[in-house]
């Protein structure tokens, strides 16, 4: 079904008003304002925006720029557990990661019921141990990949178990909002880059530092006592990790100008 046919006029009107209001909100507060406003339009109990720099199969989680609305001491435990164990501990986010194309700008969205069966949901350690004790259940999610395939900007909203589940109309609205507002919600590029650097293996970090010094592959090989072929392997792995295609682009990104 086409996105336009799933959207509800009332929700779209509310979204238009929210975006108009956001122009009057100071930039440091804008993401909080948008998440709070969208939570209201969706009639969600809690909502949030997270940049995850390890959104890959078996990822252990690397959160930055977390913006939450509606959470309290009870429900916050669900986010803390996810930050500790990684998004892939969440059964619906596992499915979302598989559905999201692994290229820059890859997008996926879905309700919990679209992404994972009741059996898999209620049988998971995360849901049983954290979601249900917090009395939140029905979920709505979307993710957009950044330049690095492991980095995503994710949105998530939940309702209480006694509420009605999110439906296709809610998903369509989240889709529209996320595609149109992703730049307004973006984490600072420097924060993401620093976190990606911190997650490098020791040899990758050593290679990266020598690249930043301007050394050629043969010089790096001599410095590290490894073959030029191995240096080339490390260099290509760095390009993939940071989502770049060349040494110059990598150095520019690390310098905060790419």
- Of 142, 131, 137, the C-alpha closest to 93 is 142
Does residue 64 carry a pLDDT above 60?
Answer: yes
pTM: 0.85
pLDDT, position 1: 44
- Of 109, 182, 104, 88, the C-alpha closest to 149 is 104
Does residue 2 carry a pLDDT above 60?
Answer: no
pLDDT tens for 213-248 read: 889 999 999 999 999 999 999 999 888 888 888 888
- What domains can you pick out in the chain, each with its CATH number? 3-188 (3.30.450.80), 200-254 (1.10.10.10)
pLDDT, position 200: 86
d(C-alpha 252, C-alpha 190), whole Å: 12
Question: Regarding predicted confidence, which is higher, 48 or 196?
Answer: 48
- Of 105, 100, 112, 106, the C-alpha closest to 170 is 112
* Residues shown for the chain: 258
Task: Give me 170's structure tokens.
Answer: 């809610």
What CA dihedral angle connects 156, 157, 159 and 161, to 10 degrees? Answer: 0
Task: Give me 21's structure tokens.
Answer: 């209001």
pLDDT tens for 146-169 read: 988 899 999 999 999 999 999 999
Does residue 114 carry a pLDDT above 90?
Answer: yes
Task: Give me 195's structure tokens.
Answer: 């976190």
Average pLDDT over residues 72-80: 89
Q: Can you count the helices (H) and strands (E) in the chain?
A: 14, 5
Average pLDDT over residues 186-214: 86
Does residue 187 carry a pLDDT above 90?
Answer: no
Mean pLDDT of the chain: 91
d(C-alpha 254, C-alpha 244), whole Å: 11
Does residue 257 carry a pLDDT above 70?
Answer: no
SS3 230: helix
d(C-alpha 250, C-alpha 242), whole Å: 7
Residue 192's pLDDT band (cuts 50, 70, 90): confident
| Residue 157 backbone phi and psi in degrees, to 5 | -135, 145
pLDDT tens for 28-38 read: 899 999 999 99
Give the Cβ contact number of residue 106 at 10 Å. Answer: 15
């Amino acid at each position: 079904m086409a996105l336009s046919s799933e959207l509800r006029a009332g929700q779209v009107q509310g979204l238009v008003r929210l975006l108009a209001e956001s122009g009057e909100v100071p930039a440091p507060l804008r993401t909080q304002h948008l998440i709070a406003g969208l939570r209201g339009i969706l009639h969600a109990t809690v909502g949030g925006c997270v940049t995850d720099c390890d959104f890959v199969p078996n990822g252990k989680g690397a959160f930055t720029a977390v913006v939450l609305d509606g959470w309290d001491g009870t429900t916050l435990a669900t986010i803390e557990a996810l930050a500790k164990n990684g998004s892939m501990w969440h059964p619906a986010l596992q499915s979302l990661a598989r559905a999201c194309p692994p290229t820059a700008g890859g997008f996926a969205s879905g309700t919990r019921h679209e992404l994972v069966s009741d059996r898999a949901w209620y049988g998971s350690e995360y849901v049983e141990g954290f979601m249900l004790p917090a009395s939140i259940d029905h979920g709505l999610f979307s993710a957009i990949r950044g330049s690095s395939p492991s980095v995503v900007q994710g949105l998530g909203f939940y309702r209480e178990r006694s509420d009605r589940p999110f439906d296709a109309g809610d998903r369509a609205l989240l889709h529209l909002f996320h595609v149109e507002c992703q730049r307004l919600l973006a984490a600072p590029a420097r924060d993401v880059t620093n976190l990606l650097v911190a997650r490098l293996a020791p040899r990758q970090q050593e290679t990266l530092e020598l690249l930043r010094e301007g050394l050629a592959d043969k010089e790096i090989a001599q410095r590290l006592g490894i073959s030029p072929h191995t240096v080339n392997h490390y260099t290509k792995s760095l390009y993939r990790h940071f989502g770049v295609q060349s040494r110059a682009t990598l150095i520019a990104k690390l310098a905060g100008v790419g």
